[in-house]
Amino acid sequence: MTSERNPTRRILADGRQIFYFDDAGRFRARTARDSRELPALDHSSRMRFDVLTGEWITMASHRMTRTHLPSAADCPLCPTNETRTPTEIPESDYDVAVFENRFPSFASAPGDAAHSPGDDDPSDRPAVGHCEVMCFSSDHTASVAELPLERMRTIVGAWISRTEELSADPDVEQMFCFENRGEEIGVTLTHPHGQIYAYPYVTSRTRSMLTQAGKHFERTGRSLLADVLAFEREDGTRLIYDGDHWTAYVPTAARWPIEVHLAPHRDVPDLPSLNDEEREELAVVYQDLLRRVDRFYPGVDRVPYIAAWHQAPVRMDRALGRLHLQLFSILRAPGKLKYLAGSESAMGAWVNDTLPEAVAARLRELK
């Protein structure tokens, strides 16, 4: 697997960037122009600090007007052709396309607006950052699990490329690559796609993990996530996959009905730090896990899921972070969802209806 895949960069009608990543051996010139008349990008998102929890809350009211469950004929993520209205992707075909979100929660403010001298309230400031959409295929009905392996390699390369570039922005503190699949999750566009967030702060979940990792390091001098991985590999009860470079397991304290963590054997802070062998195995095992999750419930063809990459922060406590994937589903049985009700939503006190060991046993048998 090549260590780097340079995208073709183009500009959309409102000035946003779009990046085309081609499968190996399929480079194509990209000459199509975006013929739409679009309003300027809305940079009005604000962040407010919740003094009760120590968390940043983003206010992005312009997102109320974003596209919501359009028909396949009106999908904005399909390629543009002579039979459909121009979409977010001007080309008539693509392998993987990444573009700046038209309705971003975080965006680069024009000029020096992000650091206006009038912004003297540190608890209420512009939500500066990046939000990108990654389309995994031009096929509206495709699933990442069933894409060709070469396409999965391209997806891994795109995650790495965008993480590298966006991490170089001095306003960015944390990178997050993820996929939401299924209307049950809250997906508003059914075309196979994921997103990339570049946050201007370190998220509360990551801060909590860094705190635990820091305490563990003070006690032992070792990495907490590395020790968790070693424990799971030795115990074996919750193990799903143990390869040359990666291991997948159901965490001991899983929160969700189906939850899998995938971690590299080497201490790696983020996706760009993976070597060629690790990237190659990742492409294989990632799709394998998605296929197992899809087959978890008899009679359910496509299980809704979130696939979330946890990467070390760009600057803060970077040595305490360790790359891993969290793959989970809110489907607890066919036709039944795990809702975050009073205990989880109000108190953050989780109750799981399934045993991690039973989930792992089921996933192991789905080879």
- Is 193 a catalytic site residue? yes
Q: Which whole-number Å values give the CA distances from 356 to 172, 224, 251, 345, in the listed order?
A: 35, 20, 7, 22
Q: What does the pLDDT read at residue 42?
A: 79
Nearest CA-CA partner of 354 in 238, 262, 240, 246? 238
pLDDT digits (tens, 9 = 90+) for 111-160: 544 444 445 678 999 999 999 999 999 999 999 999 999 999 999 999 99
- Whether residue 363 is predicted with pLDDT greater than 60 in this model: the reply is yes
What would the two tokens of residue 150 be? 């070469």
- Whether residue 65 is predicted with pLDDT greater than 90 in this model: the reply is no
What's the Rg (C-alpha) of the chain?
Answer: 21
What would the two tokens of residue 55 be? 């968390």
Domain segments of the chain as ranges: 8-201, 205-365
pTM of the predicted model as reported, rounded to 2 decimal places = 0.94
8-201 in CATH: which number? 3.30.428.10
pLDDT-wise least confident of 9-13, 64-68, 96-100, 135-139: 64-68
Q: What does the pLDDT read at residue 44?
A: 84
Fold equal for 8-201 and 205-365: yes
Identity of the residue numbered 297: Y
What would the two tokens of residue 201 be? 């702060």
pLDDT digits (tens, 9 = 90+) for 254-278: 999 999 999 999 999 999 999 999 9
pLDDT digits (tens, 9 = 90+) for 1-37: 443 468 999 999 999 999 999 999 888 889 999 999 9
Task: Tell me the pLDDT of the chain averaged across its residues.
Answer: 93
**Residue 216: pLDDT band with limits 50, 70, 90:** very high
Topology of domain 205-365, per CATH? HIT family, subunit A (3.30.428)
What is the C-alpha separation between 148 and 142, in angstroms, rounded? 11
What SS3 state is found at 252? coil
Selecting among 68, 115, 140, 193, the annotated active-site residue is: 193
pLDDT digits (tens, 9 = 90+) for 287-304: 999 999 999 999 999 999
